[in-house]
Amino acid sequence: MENVVLSPIPLPDLVGEITRAVRSELDARATHTAAPAEELLSRQQTAELLGVTLPTLASYTRRGLVQGYRIGARVRFKKNEVLDGLKRIRTAKQARG
């Protein structure tokens, strides 16, 4: 098999240049990859997720139990924060059993 000369650059130097260029491009893409966006819920979706009414959700928000975020005239809730805010309550029945 014949060798084909692509450039006057020696093969090891050419391989090194290609490797550096590929690594540089991969590094650039890795830094520009955005993290997945957090899922935002409307007031209605949040109330349904928690199993409460909209007035109860408003009360929870005022009391700081749930963190709301205003976007223009709308209020949104971060789903992961809502779920993290749920705490298991140990009842007397569970304590006995």
**Per residue in 65-89, pLDDT tens?**
899 999 999 999 999 999 888 876 6
Q: What is the mean pLDDT of the segment spanning 33-57?
A: 89
Burial (Cβ within 10 Å: 0-12, 13-18, ≥19) of residue 52: middle
Number of domains in the chain: 1
CA neighbor of 41 nearest in space, from 84, 87, 82, 85? 82
- The whole-number pLDDT of residue 9 equals 79
Give yes or no for residue 97 having a pLDDT over 80.
Answer: no
Has residue 95 been placed in a domain?
no
Has residue 53 been placed in a domain?
yes
Q: What is the mean pLDDT of the chain?
A: 84
Has residue 80 been placed in a domain?
yes
Has residue 27 been placed in a domain?
no
Has residue 46 been placed in a domain?
yes
Has residue 30 been placed in a domain?
no
26-41 residue pLDDT tens: 888 777 666 667 899 9
Has residue 15 been placed in a domain?
no
How far is Cα 44 from Cα 49, in angstroms, rounded to an integer? 9
Range of the domain at 64: 40-88
Has residue 47 been placed in a domain?
yes
- The whole-number pLDDT of residue 27 equals 81
